[in-house]
A and B are shown apart, each in its own frame.
Chain A
Amino acid sequence: MALLEVKDLHARVEEKEILRGLNLTINPGEVHAIMGPNGSGKSTLSYVLAGKDDYEVTGGSATLDGEDLLELEPDERAAKGLFLAFQYPIEIPGVASMTFLRTAVNSVRKKRGEEELSTPDFLRLVRERAKELNIKDDMLKRPVNVGFSGGEKKRNEILQMALLEPKMCVLDETDSGLDIDALKIVADGVNRLRAKNRGFLVITHYQRLLDHIVPDVVHVMARGKIVRTGGPELAHELEAKGYAGYENAA
């Protein structure tokens, strides 16, 4: 069975239709990339999958492991195994990083019928994962994302991904605002999480991220739908030729 199955998805924000009949099938273990020009609806797709308010689905379906995603609350989707790494991770003053991480991990474990982690077990787990991502203790002592650099915020997203052990990871422009070293750390973090039962959807404007997170399938999105699908070589072609041919494709 497909891990993520999106069929003829239509969605709008306020009165504007952004997704116009999007189809996408991701099987367990696969890494898909969606590339496309600005305004093609890439970020909207990620928000619709994660369940953000203000994004109204007007048609079609999206299932995770055969279960209707669109009926679920955002936190229920996360518990089912959907994870969205945000393009712009938000700062939450006053909420300690550790409190946030622990609340998130234990909420998800509880809904999955797993036992909540004890404090020592949780701390051990966070330290281990944080170390792999070069996240220092000092960062974890601050409120969530407050005072983090762009690179630190993105690494923090991957840390959350690693801790929540999702089935389906959606990375929204995770490369934006990263220098090459930060990009490598983030890509290594993602690659470590690749597994045969886990799927990835990497949304990006540029091909360079895909040198580090090599996809199985590359899609081109324009005007709210997938207009072309190919292998990793498609990303290189786009990098060379640009999106000029796709702006008006749909």
Chain B
Amino acid sequence: MNAEVKMMRTAAETQYSDALAALPGAEPVRALREKALRLFAEKGLPHRRVEEWKYTDLRVLLREMAPLAGKPDAAALTEAKKIDLLGNIGAREITFVNGAFVAELSNLKGLEKGLTISTLGDALKGDATLPQFLAGLNPGKYDAVYALNTAALNEGVVIDVAPGAQITKPIHIRHIVTGTSLVSVFGRVVVKVGKKAQATIIQSHAGPDAVAYQTNTVLQLSVADDAELDIVRVQAEGDKAIHLSMMVGAIGTDSRFKSFALSTGAAVSRHTVPFAYAGRNARALISGATLLRGKQHADMTLEVDHALPGGESRELFKTVLDDESRGVFQGLIVVRPDAQKTDGRMMSAALLLGDEAEMDNKPELEIFADDVQCAHGATTGALDDDLLFYLRARGIPKKEAESLLIQSFFGEAIEHIENEKIRDAMMKRAGHWLAARG
């Protein structure tokens, strides 16, 4: 018998419970929120003895909850207007400032046929099934980030692509934090892509340096049969921020899903991707590049669940670690008994630039079917001296030679982005990171 030690509630846990319980709210969200709060009160923040959080101990990293952000004022909007992470990529923008939807920084005019974009509040009025969808995660499964996000449900956006609609213009959801005070910001984004429909969504996060604000964002998606969805995520939070995020999704039969995440920001970040194959012969590519320096801590955790036959999954993650930064990659591929002919390949490669940098790679396979092809790999290494010498022998100075090699390292993940403008914007952002290497 296990002796369960009841842990003392931390200051942050108490603050979350109090602050979120005090939020106003009407049904049907109220019931959802209360349930999530109860769950949180019971289970609390994860710590290193919780396997999935072994390397990112939130009890330690999140000592205090910052106060909930208020409505953005004029100064906040002025500041937000200056944020331009990606340049002109021809996207339709939806902007949240300090967690609140800002219509004047969003473009909801002339929506393509079949595309509906609503605030969470409006969507709830029209869609009786939404609360259940928002309840999300597999019942019985607890994730503190998800529970807190649900307990804070208020602002958000629902993007609905009707069956057959081909939305070629990317939709860019921007989460911007402004100001100099410590705030907590929550956000929920729902993306539903109907049968044979297609869409491209970008989600970006930005905020001021030197402010220890806290963000918690959940992107929930469902991709119907024969549909296609591309997700690109840019996490460029300020350098003191704590960023907690999830991308939770399920994809249907013969669907195609691609996601790429570029992470350069935040002092502490954790991105969790619970991802399910809900149909047959679905294909997904989940990739990312994480570029870290200083004492940054970034955790990327995937749980890819193959429940039905014929699924193909590719995971490719590149982490570059300078100085004393720390990277975590946890990748779990589950192949359930019915998921025959699953083809899964997962790779996590880390490039250590700093002598004090650390990478924790934990790829895992749990296979319960007998006719599958699954492989995983994890590498950690420094820049290759022979490659560097070759470049330098051709007149390329050391820093530039290193930059070429680092760029080629993370470029392999970025190359999977199909939209050329978005791909170039990602290379450019990653290039800024490189250029800032002293």
Residues of A participating in the B interface, judged by any CB pair closer than 8 Å: 50-53, 73-75, 77-79, 83-84, 86, 89-90, 92-95, 99-100, 103-105, 107-108, 111, 143, 160, 164
Chain B residue total in the interface (Cβ 8 A): 22
Interface residues of B in 369-425 (CB under 8 A from A): 385-387, 389-398, 400-401, 404-405, 407-409, 411-412
B395 in contact with A52 (CB, 8 Å): no
Q: Is the interface of B mostly helix, strand, loop or mixed?
A: helix
Interface residues of B in 326-365 (CB under 8 A from A): none
Q: Quick check: A90 and B408 within 8 Å, CB to CB?
A: no
- Please give, as numbers and ranges, the residues of chain B lying within 8 Å of A108 by CB-CB distance: 394-395
Name which residue of chain A comes closest to B411, CB basis.
A94
Residue contact A79 to B408, C-beta cutoff 8 Å? no
Q: Which residues of B contact A100 (CB under 8 A)?
A: 391, 394, 404
CB neighbours of B396 from chain A (8 A): 75, 103-104, 107
B412 and A79 form a contact (CB under 8 A): no
Is the Cβ of A92 less than 8 Å from the Cβ of B398? no
Given contacts A95-B404, A100-B391, contact A75 B397 (CB under 8 A): yes
**Once bound together, how far apart are the Cα atoms of A105 and B405, in whole Å?**
17
Chain A residues near B412 (CB-CB < 8 A): 93-94
Give CA–CA (A51, B408) in the complex, Å: 24
- Considering only CB atoms, which chain B residue lies closest to A90 in the complex? B390
- Beyond A74-B389, A103-B400, whether A94 also contacts B409 by CB under 8 A is yes
A84 and B393 in contact, given A92-B408, A94-B411, A99-B404 (Cβ under 8 angstroms):
yes
CB < 8 Å: which of A51, A95, A164 contacts B405?
A: A95
Residues of B within 8 A of A92 (CB): 387, 390-391, 405, 408
- Whole-angstrom distance between the alpha carbons of A108 and B396 in the complex? 7
Residue of B nearest to A96 (CB): B408
Q: Choose one: A52, A93, A107; the contact of B400 (CB below 8 Å).
A: A107
**Structural contact, B389 and A73, CB atoms closer than 8 A:** no
Q: Quick one: closest B residue to A91, CB to CB? A: B387
Query: Is there an interface contact between B387 and A50, defined as CB atoms closer than 8 Å?
Result: no
CB neighbours (8 Å) of B400 from chain A are 103, 107
Assembled-state Cα–Cα distance A52/B397 (Å): 14
Q: How far is the CB of B112 from chain A (nearest CB, A)?
A: 36
**When A94-B409, A103-B404 are in contact, do A78 and B386 touch as well, CB less than 8 Å?**
no
Tell me the complex Cα distance, A89–B401, Å. 16
With A90-B386, A90-B390 given, is the CB distance from A75 to B409 under 8 Å? Answer: no
Contact of A75 among B386, B392, B407, B408 (CB under 8 A): B392
Q: How far does the Cβ of B397 sit from chain A's closest Cβ, in whole Å? A: 5
Out of B394, B407, B408, name the residue touching A164 (CB < 8 Å): B394
User: Given B393, B404, B409, B411, which contacts A74 in the complex, CB threshold below 8 Å?
Assistant: B393
Known: A52-B389, A83-B393, A86-B390. 20 other contacts (CB 8 A): A50-B389, A51-B393, A73-B397, A75-B398, A78-B395, A79-B395, A86-B393, A89-B390, A92-B387, A92-B391, A93-B412, A94-B412, A95-B407, A100-B391, A100-B404, A103-B396, A104-B391, A107-B396, A108-B395, A143-B408
